[in-house]
Amino acid sequence: MVKLNLDDPNIMAANEASKIWGHAENYVRPFMKQNPNKFPKGSIRKFGKQWVVTTEGMEAITGVKDPRKK
């Protein structure tokens, strides 16, 4: 079994990720509804009411590398 590190900065709440990439807090939810195939497999998931997305997922949908690494 693979151990997942939830402290990894590449795993974040969708609203937090949206802000990091310079979009409105609700950017990810409607994007996911309209374009679910744009997210690489395993890069987004809903836990209860909260969407969680990876850096890879955000880079895929925005076409912009992680702004935190500039």
pTM to 2 decimal places = 0.92
> What is the pLDDT tens value at each position of the chain, 70 positions in all?
889 899 999 999 999 999 999 999 999 999 999 999 999 999 999 999 999 999 999 999 999 999 999 7
Round to whole Å and give the CA distance between 42 and 19. Answer: 21
- Report in angstroms the alpha-carbon separations of 23 from 2, 5, 34, 39: 32, 26, 17, 17
